[in-house]
Each structure stands twice: as C-alpha cells, then as structure tokens.
C-alpha cells in the first residue's frame, strides 16, 4: 500500500497490477494491459520528485508526473527482473533490491549502478532497506548488511556473528534498537551492539551478540513475518511497530515493553535438593547445616511476573565459592558439585529482557560440615609433620651435595690446570716453529699487523728484512734434508745470539727468516744485517757437514712513504730478489 501524491491510496496486487482507492472506490490504475511489465507487484515507492516507482516480477516501472512510463528490465539496467524492495536515500538516489543483488539509480546521472555483495557474504536477495545518516541497512537472505555511504564498505551480521536466522525481510528502527522480521519471528537487537559486532575484529570480540526473538509465545499468531512484499513492516508515528505475518498483522509498542520492565519482579527459591533429596528451606536469617561429604546441591527458583514470564533472565551467585554473578539466561535451576566444607550463601535474582537487573534477590545460607581430616587443626598437624620431614631430607641432601661439591671442585681445578697447560702448549705451537723454536710466520704477521699502524701514527720508522739461505736446495740435494734442517737451526742460533735491542726475528718459512727493526730506517737496519751476513758467512759449518759453506742474502725496506704493511713486505721481498739476482751473499735495500 502507498499514499499517492493527491491523497489517494495505491494498492499493489499479485494478480491485478496496481489498484487505486479513492473516495472508497477501488479502480484499476496500472496493469499489463496499459503498460505495466507484470501484474505481480511486489513494491511501491513515491520519490521526492513525485515519481511513482513500481517493482514487479518482470522489472521496474517508473510513472512520471505527466503519466508517461519508463521501463527498466534485466535485459539492460537490472541484474534481475524480479524486484522486491525500493527505497530512496537522503540524496534522492533510488535503491532497488532484486533477486540478484542491489542496484542504485543515481538521481544526477539517471543511470543504474550495480552494488555487488562480497563473495564471502554469499548473499543474493535484498528484501528490504532502512536508511540512516551514515549507513544503508539491507535485509538479505544471509543477514543484515551495513553499507557505508562515504567509503562504500560493507559488513554483515548473520549466523556467524550470532543471529538465530540469516534470512531477514525488513528492518524497522526505534531510538535504541533494530527490529528485524524473519520467517521465525521478530528479532530485536540494540543498535550499539550491532555496531560493536560489525566494527570489531572476530579475534578481539569479547561480548557475544544478545537479542530477543519474539514469536507465537509472545502473542503473535504466526512467527512467519516474511511479508512477501515491501514494506512488510513499518513504524507508526505513535511509536507502534507493525509487522505483516502469515496470519494477519502483529504490532508492538517498544515503549510499553520498556515500561513493563520497571514493574517490581519478585523472585523466590522454590526448592533445595541435597544429593538428590529435597531439603526444607530455612527461615529468614537461619542457615542449613549439611553433613560432611555432600557432593551435589541443586536450587530451583522462579520470577513471579505476568509479563513475558518465559523471557525472564536469571543470575545466581554463591558467596564463599564465587562472588561474581553468573548468567543463567532462562534456566531456573542452578547446580553445584563437590563443594569443599565451609559456609556459603546462595543468591538468585531475575530481570526482564533488555532491562537492568532488579535488586530482588533471594538468599539461602548453608554450612557444609567437614570430616576430621578436613579440619584446620588436622591440616596444620599434617603440615607440621611434612615440613619437619622435608627439612630433615633437605639437611641430609645438603650435606651429601656438599661432599660431592668438594670432590667436584678438586677435580675441576685439576682438570682446569691440565687444560690450561695444554692450551698454553697449543698456543705456543701455533706461534712458534717446531724446528728452530723461533716465532713462526703467524706470530710475525700478527706482530706486524698490530704495530704497523701505531708506528705510522707516531711517525716512527719501521724496517723489515727478509733473509734467505743461498743455494739451500744444493745443501738438501748434496748433503740431505737432515743436514739442511741442521743448517737452518744453526743459522737461527746465530740470529738469536747476534740480535740487538728490540729486534723481532721469525722463521718465515723454508729457508727464509724475517727480521723487524722498530724505530730504525732501512739504512740503519742494513748495518745490522751486514754484520749478521758476515757472521754467517764466516761461521764454521764443518760440525754440520764436511766441506759445507753457507751464505745468506738480505732484502730490506722500511715504512717511510708506505701506508700498508703488505706493501712493506712486498718491497722487502723485491729487495731480496734483487740481492739474489745480483750474485747472492749480499744485502739490498728498496
């Protein structure tokens, strides 16, 4: 039904198109014979420009102010020809609910835009719309969809979010609640709770969806409030909500429901069972004394109300066990098992749906007596014996561990000393030549790397000499490798004996030795090297092998003008090659 622009009433029918009621007379207005796409009319809308929109089973028809018709079908503008819902938003755009999603008619461009539901919604039908300031709410076959005007984002409230059904037909709003029609009754949900559920990630939600589902038990002749056409529900200006059902119209006045919840609600405890046996309820201020070993307690209670008694909610609290109120929903029984001995107070209170809890609680106090082994004196005695036993075991174990500790410390100290000696030996072997017992190339390179930069920073010279035994291969081939090793040891001894000051001498490898002269230039080092060369040349090697004469060659360089110790070594090596190529048994500088 729709009130026309001139006060007439338009009726949408399933078989005769649109009828007009004027002055109590029903006359045909628009049907298939005079331009309507189908006689099965599902929805009517009169927009802000006084244009009549008619949704049918075969498309959408718009009646202009001059009476001309504009047709929209699934062959061009609509995803589906079956139109079930129409609504005009605050900007004047027309929202069309079809059998395959939603389309929006833009009032400026005069074109339709398809609004596709996300695949995760699995929604197809849009049965009804509700418009507010920021959102368009859509009742669909998979729940309540919220569309945000500014961002175009959509969110859904369905079974997964806690609704009892997911097929909704119409949305009607009051100041604080949404009322949703379905084929299982009318669902009432607070708006702020819907926004909380839709705005919070699933992992962060801590409050489940709470709602009220009204059906035949609340006075409806039928819970099937699916309507079949729109609007199938509406709000009257006196605050009454009207819903079309399979058996007539049901109405509710939320303000009256809210006022009813303020009526005093007495609560009573009907019965008290101990291990399945009924127990007499105590008088006010008295306590029930229960024997030891009680395993199961059961309380049955009720709220006395003529208003929605089947919808009363209950909360219970057992002081001495858990001081928090526990929601029992509509259950009228509370049961506790295996409570320890002690003093308890059972409390119960009732409340109406969507209302604050009334301070109407009833109370039963009871005491569960203890077995002798449950009494505090016995527990203290056992605790003392256990503590004494544990202390004795602790002292014995402590003495035992002290003895073990002494032995372990002695053994660790002995092994640590052995390991230190072994580590020192390995460290020495790693930096000394086994044949001559002189520092090896690793020790020499380490010293040079650590000190070269320091000498350069202090602007002090650093000279290096590489010495090579002349024709050493002839010695190995002519006398043997054993004799060659003895020659190397003899020369090492001469170098140690005749070294001066802070010289660093190392066996470079094979028949080569290196000498470092801290604070000396190449020319100052040459004087020392010449003395060493002459000492070796004049030395008597007949004790090593008969007719054996040994000479050496030196190559010298210093750090003046060099910023890299590798370069220093390279230049000393070049000087050595120069000495060899110049006849050997000589000293050269580069």
Torsion on CA atoms 454, 457, 461, 464, rounded to nearest 10: 40
φ, ψ (nearest 5 deg) of residue 193: -75, -40
pLDDT at 501: 65
Which runs of consecutive H residues, i.e. helices, occur in 350-480?
376-431, 441-457, 472-479
Q: Cβ atoms within 10 A of the Cβ of 63, count? A: 20
297 - beta bridge partners? 274, 336
User: What mean pLDDT is predicted for residues 558-576?
Assistant: 93
Q: Cβ atoms within 10 A of the Cβ of 267, count? A: 20
pLDDT at 206: 64
Rounded Cα distance between 300 and 270, Å, is 6
pLDDT tens track for 518-527: 999 999 999 9
Block residue for tokens 């109370």: 363
pTM of the model: 0.55
User: What mean pLDDT is predicted for residues 255-267?
Assistant: 78
pLDDT at 202: 65
* Candidate list 203, 286, 500, 511, residue with the active-site label: 511
pLDDT tens track for 370-399: 888 878 888 899 999 999 999 999 999 999
Q: Residue 433: CB partners within 8 Å, gap ≥ 6?
A: 439, 440, 506, 507
pLDDT at 484: 94
User: What mean pLDDT is predicted for residues 482-486?
Assistant: 94
pLDDT at 376: 83
pLDDT of 548 strictly over 70? yes
Active-site annotation holds for 175? no
Nearest to 38 by CA among 21, 19, 54: 54
pLDDT tens track for 275-299: 999 999 888 778 999 999 899 999 9
pLDDT tens track for 433-463: 989 989 999 999 998 988 899 998 899 999 9
pLDDT at 259: 74
pLDDT at 218: 81
Rounded Cα distance between 363 and 64, Å, is 70
Rounded Cα distance between 145 and 136, Å, is 8
pLDDT at 51: 93
pLDDT of 171 strictly over 70? yes
pLDDT at 549: 92
pLDDT of 556 strictly over 90? yes
User: What mean pLDDT is predicted for residues 344-373?
Assistant: 87
Q: How far is CA 1 from CA 46, 249, 406, 480, 522, in A?
A: 11, 14, 101, 125, 117
Q: Residue 8: CB partners within 8 Å, gap ≥ 6?
A: 20, 21, 22
Nearest to 437 by CA among 505, 515, 511: 505
pLDDT at 57: 93
User: What mean pLDDT is predicted for residues 16-36?
Assistant: 94
Percent of the residues in the chain that have a pLDDT greater than 90, as a whole number: 67
pLDDT of 162 strictly over 80? yes
pLDDT at 503: 82
Q: What pLDDT band is residue 203 in, cutting at 50, 70 and 90?
A: low
Q: What pLDDT band is residue 205 in, cutting at 50, 70 and 90?
A: low
pLDDT at 243: 94
Positive or negative, the Cα torsion across 439, 445, 446, 447?
Answer: positive
pLDDT tens track for 110-160: 999 999 999 999 999 999 999 999 999 999 999 999 999 999 999 999 999
Rounded Cα distance between 72 and 104, Å, is 12
Block residue for tokens 């749906």: 353
Is the backbone peptide bond immediately before 107 cis, with ω within 30 degrees of 0?
no
pLDDT of 499 strictly over 90? no
pLDDT of 227 strictly over 80? no
pLDDT of 228 strictly over 80? no
pLDDT of 500 strictly over 70? no
Q: What pLDDT band is residue 361 in, cutting at 50, 70 and 90?
A: confident
Q: What pLDDT band is residue 301 in, cutting at 50, 70 and 90?
A: very high
């Amino acid at each position: 039904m729709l009130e026309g622009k001139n006060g007439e009433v338009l009726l949408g029918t399933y078989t005769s198109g649109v009828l007009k009621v004027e002055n109590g007379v029903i006359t045909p207005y628009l049907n298939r014979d005079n331009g309507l796409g189908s006689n099965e009319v599902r929805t009517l809308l009169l927009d802000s420009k006084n244009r009549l929109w008619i949704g049918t089973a075969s498309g959408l028809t718009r009646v202009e102010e001059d009476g001309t018709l504009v047709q929209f079908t699934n062959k061009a503008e609509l995803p589906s020809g079956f139109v079930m819902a129409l609504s005009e938003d605050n900007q004047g755009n027309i929202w069309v609910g079809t059998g395959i999603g939603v389309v929006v008619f833009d009032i400026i461009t005069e074109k339709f835009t398809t609004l596709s539901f996300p695949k995760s919604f699995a929604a197809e039908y849009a049965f009804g719309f509700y418009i507010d300031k920021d959102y368009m709410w859509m009742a669909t076959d998979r729940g309540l969809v919220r569309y945000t005007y500014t961002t175009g984002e959509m969110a859904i409230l369905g079974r997964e979010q806690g609704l009892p059904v997911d097929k909704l037909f119409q949305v009607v709003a009051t100041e604080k609640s949404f009322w949703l029609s379905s084929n299982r009754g009318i669902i009432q949900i607070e708006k702020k709770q819907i926004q909380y559920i839709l705005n919070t990630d699933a992992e962060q939600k801590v409050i489940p969806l709470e709602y009220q589902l009204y059906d035949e038990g609340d006075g409806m002749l039928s819970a099937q409030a699916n309507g079949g056409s729109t609007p199938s529900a509406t709000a009257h200006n006196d605050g009454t909500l009207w819903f079309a059902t399979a058996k007539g119209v049901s109405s509710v006045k939320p303000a009256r429901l809210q006022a009813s919840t303020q009526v005093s609600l007495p609560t009573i405890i009907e019965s008290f069972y101990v291990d399945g046996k009924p127990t007499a309820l105590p008088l006010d201020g008295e306590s029930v004394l229960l024997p030891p070993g009680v395993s199961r307690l059961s309380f049955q209670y009720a709220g006395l109300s003529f208003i929605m008694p089947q919808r009363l909610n209950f909360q219970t609290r057992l002081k001495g066990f858990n001081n928090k109120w526990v929601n029992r929903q509509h259950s009228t029984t509370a049961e506790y098992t295996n409570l320890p001995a002690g003093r308890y107070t059972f409390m119960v209170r009732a409340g109406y749906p969507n209302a604050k809890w009334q301070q109407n609680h009833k109370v039963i106090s009871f005491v569960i007596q203890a077995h002798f082994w449950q009494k505090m004196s016995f527990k203290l005695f056992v605790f003392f014996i256990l503590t004494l036993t544990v202390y004795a075991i602790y002292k014995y174990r402590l003495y035992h561990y002290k003895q073990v500790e002494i032995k372990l410390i002695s053994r660790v100290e002995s092994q640590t000393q052995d390991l230190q000696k072994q580590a020192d030996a390995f460290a020495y072997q790693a930096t000394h030549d086994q044949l001559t017992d002189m520092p090896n190339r690793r020790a020499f390179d380490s010293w040079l790397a650590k000190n070269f930069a320091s000498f350069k920073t202090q602007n002090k010279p650093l000279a290096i000499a590489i010495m090579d035994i002349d024709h050493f291969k002839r010695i190995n081939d002519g006398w043997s490798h054993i004799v060659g090793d003895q020659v190397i040891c003899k020369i090492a001894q001469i170098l140690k004996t005749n070294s001066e000051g802070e010289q660093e001498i190392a066996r470079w490898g094979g028949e080569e030795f290196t000498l470092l002269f801290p604070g000396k230039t190449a020319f100052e080092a040459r004087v020392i090297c010449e003395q060493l060369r002459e000492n070796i040349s004049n030395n008597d090697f007949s004790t090593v092998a008969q007719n054996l004469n040994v000479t050496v060659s030196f190559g010298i360089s210093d750090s003046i003008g060099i910023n890299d110790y590798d370069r220093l070594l390279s230049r000393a090596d070049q000087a050595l090659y120069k000495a060899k190529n110049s006849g050997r048994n000589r000293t050269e500088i580069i």
